[in-house]
Amino acid sequence: MGTGQALWKRAKKVIPGGNMLLSKRPEMFLPELWPAYFSKAKGCRVWDLDGRELIDMTIMGVGANTLGYGDERVDRAVLDTVAAGNMSTLNAPEEVALAERLVALHPWADMARFARTGGEANAVAIRIARAASGRDGVAICGYHGWHDWYLASNLGADDSLAGHLLPGLDPAGVPKDLRGTTTPFAFNDIPALEALIATGRIGVIMMEVARSFDPSPAFLQAVRDLASRHGIVLIFDECTSGFRQSQGGLHLLYGVEPDMASFGKALGNGYAVTAVIGRREVMEAAQNSFISSTFWTERIGSAAALATLDAMAEDRSWEVITATGTEITRRWRELAAAHGLSITTSGLPALTGFAFAGPNGLAYKTLISQEMLEKGYLAATSIYTATAHSPDVVDAYFEALDPVFGLIAQCEDGRDVTTLLRGPVCHSGFKRVN
């Protein structure tokens, strides 16, 4: 057992769930063997608590670090902010500059509000949109965080968020009186959305522009037209997709304008800052509701975001990470075919992943994490690309992955995969870990 796993066992005794983010639990990768904690991170490399250097070919700070870990341009801005003072009774001027920058990148928008997490940003957006529309009902399509307004969709007798949430997310603790306030509709399913709107309750549509696959050519515009026709506030949740295929929201590529949009993850390259932007007539509704928090005014987040926007523009990072992800996806398919394996791939190019067909999918994912860790990689079945994933890094990754796919091919031919695993199979969704 490494130092990280020993600390993880301690953590589960004093922190419910062990940590604050499901996606970073070791059980999601390699139970009992994943290093769990880092001591240092730079580029696409992290060092665990035992000082072992590992190349990160997984989720790169859960998609927050598109410029790689420890980008010097962003870190310099943060250090300058720390030296000058992060918090005071007065406001940080950087938040005005950041609002102006985001509005300039999205000509349809006029105003911005800021938070520090994606869930907060989406909760802020929903509050403002409900205030603007005067109706409580929310139609959702996608994953939008952990807050009550969203998990209320899962309060029914059936698992109504299947396909929208990670498996197993239970709305325990969400007031049952919220049942029916938020209702999902399927991606690319306009008739389902029309049926929700016909109830007369819907005042807000919150949706991801794309996640696992692309929208049909007419889908986004049809949603826009329905929202406009019925006086509904349309929000695009770009907390995950923003700044990955364009310098701004993914919706810019589709030419469809929402009334509001939320951004997170990539906006601060690892520093906590998220944003909600929108049309003036919608955003001004925030004045009629109490939406306020001390640490939404700290200075580091806005300073980091401004530096990140500059660095992304300098590197044209969205083009780099999209090209890298496209190449990785192509090579996964190629490698699988070479070993006679069947896989499916999904996700935005810069948030790419693959899955094995058949009942052993999770066991194979666990085997990949186990074998690649031995070779000095953090790896599983998805990669969130960063500019630090240079061609030589990608080449070395596939050289290491090739024999692991060979092992999986043997298992498909009859070898028992469980005999190759040195610990339990990884989790597929939310499960209690303590």
User: What is d(CA 301, CA 94) in angstroms, rounded to the nearest whole number?
Assistant: 9
Q: Two tokens at 287? A: 């004045």
User: What is d(CA 280, CA 253) in angstroms, rounded to the nearest whole number?
Assistant: 23
Amino acid at 121: A
Which pLDDT score, from 0 to 100, does residue 168 have? Answer: 62
User: What is d(CA 315, CA 325) in angstroms, rounded to the nearest whole number?
Assistant: 16
Angle subtended at Cα 117 by Cα 115 and Cα 120, rounded to the nearest 5 degrees: 65
State the pLDDT confidence band at 164, using cuts at 50, 70 and 90.
Answer: low
Which pLDDT score, from 0 to 100, does residue 225 have? Answer: 98
Query: Mean pLDDT across the stretch 73-95?
Result: 98
* Residues 261 and 236: beta-carbon distance below 8 Å: yes
> Mind listing the pLDDT tens digit for each residue in 135-158?
999 999 999 999 999 999 888 765
Is the pLDDT at 299 greater than 70? The verdict is yes
Is the pLDDT at 432 greater than 60? The verdict is no
Name all domains of the chain by residue range, CATH numbers in brackets.
3-70+316-419 (3.90.1150.10), 72-315 (3.40.640.10)
Q: Two tokens at 54? A: 């590992």
Which pLDDT score, from 0 to 100, does residue 211 have? Answer: 82
> Mind listing the pLDDT tens digit for each residue in 97-110?
999 999 999 999 99
Which pLDDT score, from 0 to 100, does residue 394 have? Answer: 98
> What is the pTM (predicted TM-score) of this model?
0.95
What is the percent of the chain where pLDDT is above 70? 96
**Per-residue H/E/C for 305-354:** HHHHHHHHHHHCHHHHHHHHHHHHHHHHHHHHHHCCCCEEEECCCCEEEE
Query: Mean pLDDT across the stretch 335-354?
Result: 97
Least confident among 46-50, 180-184, 245-249: 180-184
